[in-house]
């Protein structure tokens, strides 16, 4: 963009952590100034250091800060002259799929970098999305949607017709919340009540529905992108079947589960869905694939996904740049035929959690935190050594992404990255990630959404049937010990940002590549 007028002068990144850092980086590369948000707990966070300016929000809980639409919109009105925000990028999580926020941005005269509010609302409702897909013959998991106030008997009958096991799902669901697997009629009614309660408290919407529970499925999703001129493309798939509690842990592209014919068929279905919705911006069409290779529509996510970086790696594209260009009204600069993935990419999500305690999130200070560097390795993180990981926000520390000419090489690079990433101060899932990478079924690409549950016992350690290469954990420990003393001293050093207006530029270093 050098030499050209930027598409926007100033954009608000209404998020925090790794995704805020990642969006800020692209905005600045495009010559756009990024305004960040910071709760009290995030005063010194990496995304604040990277931003050109920061709006400080009083309080710490997400409800009081990053989810507080009225406060955010009111605060940005008070920015000094010359710093008026023109557009808002919501990232993922928080307000990214909140139709009311998208509408409020538009009403305030801001460009919302995402689809139209009406579309966000429709796709955020899994029941409505199902109805829309059913009407045009998109394959759906067999299911049943009750009327408001359906009798308990009706649920029992529906589950019988679908056949056990069934999955109770929340209409407004997200992040695996409000989801219950039910194996027999005896458990059904209690599961429905519990799912409805959980959905009411998480989403303020207690509606639930039933779906056939697909055993040992794979989760395969397609990235789509549309501009405001009716041009839409897909950016191929991501395989996201290594999950715990219905949440993704490792993703890769291309999917080892697809042959070219199936890939093409699913891609065309994803594009068909995108056309049906007249989709603009980046979005993801999620499918579930059964053991027979049949696929079913799961949902549409109307935002950037956590795992978008693997797609960026194989396509050598910047999805956030595309989102900003689309928001500014530019046409997509490529045709479907130009989009050709190169090589293989894998992402591992490094979480501050204890796999031996049912993946219980852990908190503490990152006394040692040294992301490694090498070509073809990208680490997106909102943390730096010395930072505190608190209970207030998501426990994801970093996304570790490797890209190489083939799957074997991408896995080898990931093993290298995991064993050269010392993290001390709290419990992480690092060793579990290493063990998965070494597991013969993962190496063969033969896995499904219960892989972690089946191959690693309830404590998150390996199933005795499989013994890991002992060299890697040993390497990791010696690495960590070697760097511990130096980093303890470093941990005491904290960056202070005196004025929000002085925080830009100087901190654009240590960029994850």
The set of catalytic residues is: 303
Contacts to ligand ADP from residues 434-493, by CB under 6 A? 449
263 lies in the site for ligand ADP, by CB under 6 A: no
Of 31, 59, 62, 176, the one binding ligand ADP by CB under 6 A? 176
Distance CA 77, CA 59 (A): 19
Checking DSSP bridges between strand 208-212 and strand 143-144, what pairing results, if any?
Answer: antiparallel
Contact between 168 and 158 (Cβ < 8 Å): no
- CB closer to ligand ADP out of 68 and 269: 269
- Residue 49's nearest CA partner among 373, 499, 351 is 499
- Containing 210, the helix (H) or strand (E) segment is strand 208-212
Distance CA 350, CA 100 (A): 32
Of 192, 214, 324, 327, the one binding ligand ADP by CB under 6 A? 214
- CB closer to ligand ADP out of 296 and 383: 296
Of 217, 371, 422, 460, the one binding ligand ADP by CB under 6 A? 217
CB of 215 to ligand ADP, least distance (A): 7
Distance CA 145, CA 166 (A): 13
CB of 479 to ligand ADP, least distance (A): 33
Distance of CA 45 to the CA centre of its chain: 20
Distance CA 113, CA 418 (A): 34
Distance CA 371, CA 228 (A): 39
Contact between 152 and 189 (Cβ < 8 Å): yes
Distance CA 173, CA 247 (A): 12
Of 141, 182, 270, 319, the one binding ligand ADP by CB under 6 A? 141
CB of 103 to ligand ADP, least distance (A): 22
250 lies in the site for ligand ADP, by CB under 6 A: no
Segment near ligand ADP (CB under 6 A); pick from 65-73, 128-136, 147-155, 211-219: 211-219
CB of 136 to ligand ADP, least distance (A): 19
CA distances from 143 to 133, 173, 210 (A): 13, 16, 5
- CB closer to ligand ADP out of 216 and 229: 216
CB of 164 to ligand ADP, least distance (A): 12
- CB closer to ligand ADP out of 175 and 331: 175
Of 191, 298, 379, 436, the one binding ligand ADP by CB under 6 A? 298
* Site map (CB under 6 A) of ligand ADP, residues 270-289, x = contact: ----------------x-x-
- CB closer to ligand ADP out of 214 and 326: 214
CB of 286 to ligand ADP, least distance (A): 5
How many residues line the site for ligand ADP (CB under 6 A)? 21
- Residue 210's nearest CA partner among 156, 297, 145, 287 is 145
H helices of 62-181, where?
A: 69-77, 99-107, 117-124, 126-135, 152-162
Contacts to ligand ADP from residues 220-249, by CB under 6 A? 243, 246
DSSP secondary structure string, 141-170? --EE-PPTT--HHHHHHHHHHH-SSEEEEE
Distance CA 189, CA 265 (A): 38
Segment near ligand ADP (CB under 6 A); pick from 213-221, 336-344, 408-416, 464-472: 213-221
Distance CA 233, CA 223 (A): 9
| Residues at the contact surface with ligand ADP, assessed by CB under 6 A | 141, 167, 173-177, 179, 211-214, 217, 219, 243, 246, 286, 288, 298-299, 449
């Amino acid at each position: 963009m050098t030499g050209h007028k930027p598409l926007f002068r100033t954009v608000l990144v209404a998020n925090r952590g790794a995704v805020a850092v990642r969006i800020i980086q692209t905005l600045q590369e495009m010559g756009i100034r990024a305004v960040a948000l910071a709760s009290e707990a995030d005063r010194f966070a990496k995304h604040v250091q990277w931003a050109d300016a920061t709006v400080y929000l009083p309080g710490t809980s997400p409800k009081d800060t990053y989810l507080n639409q009225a406060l955010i919109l009111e605060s940005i009105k008070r920015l000094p002259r010359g710093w008026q925000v023109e557009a808002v990028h919501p990232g993922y999580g928080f307000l990214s799929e909140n139709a009311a926020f998208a509408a409020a941005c538009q009403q305030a005269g801001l460009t919302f970098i995402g689809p139209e509010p009406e579309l966000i609302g429709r796709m955020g409702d899994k029941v409505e999305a199902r109805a829309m897909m059913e009407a045009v013959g998109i394959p759906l998991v067999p299911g049943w949607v009750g009327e408001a106030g359906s009798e308990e008997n009706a649920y029992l009958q529906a589950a019988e017709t679908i056949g056990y096991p069934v999955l109770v799902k929340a209409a407004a669901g997200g992040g695996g919340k409000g989801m219950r697997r039910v194996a027999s009629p005896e458990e059904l009614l209690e599961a429905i009540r519990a799912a409805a309660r959980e959905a009411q408290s998480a989403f303020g919407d207690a509606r639930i529905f039933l779906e056939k529970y697909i055993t040992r499925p794979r989760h395969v999703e397609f990235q789509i992108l549309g501009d405001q001129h009716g041009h839409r493309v897909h950016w191929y798939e991501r395989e996201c079947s290594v999950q715990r509690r219905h949440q993704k842990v490792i993703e890769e592209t291309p999917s080892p589960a697809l042959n070219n014919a199936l890939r093409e068929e699913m891609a065309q279905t994803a594009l068909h869905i995108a056309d049906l919705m007249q989709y603009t911006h980046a979005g993801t069409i999620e499918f579930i694939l059964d053991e027979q290779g049949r696929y079913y529509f799961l949902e549409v996510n109307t935002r950037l996904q956590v795992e978008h970086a693997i797609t960026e790696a194989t396509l050598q594209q910047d999805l956030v740049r595309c989102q900003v260009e689309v928001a500014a009204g530019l046409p997509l600069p490529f045709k479907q035929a130009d989009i050709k993935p190169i090589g293989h990419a894998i992402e591992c999500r490094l979480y501050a959690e204890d796999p031996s305690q049912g993946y219980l999130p852990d908190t503490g200070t990152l006394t040692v935190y040294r992301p490694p560097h090498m070509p073809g390795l990208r680490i997106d993180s909102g943390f730096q050594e010395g930072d505190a990981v608190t209970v207030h926000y998501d426990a994801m520390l970093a996304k570790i992404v490797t890209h190489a000419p083939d799957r074997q090489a991408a896995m080898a690079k990931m093993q290298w990255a995991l064993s050269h990433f010392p993290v001390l101060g709290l419990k992480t899932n690092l060793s579990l990630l290493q063990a998965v990478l070494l597991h013969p079924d993962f190496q063969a690409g033969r896995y499904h959404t219960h892989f972690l549950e089946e191959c690693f016992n309830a404590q998150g350690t390996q199933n005795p049937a499989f013994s890991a290469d002992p060299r890697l954990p040993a390497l990791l420990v010696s690495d960590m010990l070697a760097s511990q003393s130096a980093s303890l001293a470093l941990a005491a050093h904290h960056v202070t940002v005196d004025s929000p207006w002085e925080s830009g530029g100087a901190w654009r270093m240590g960029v994850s590549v």
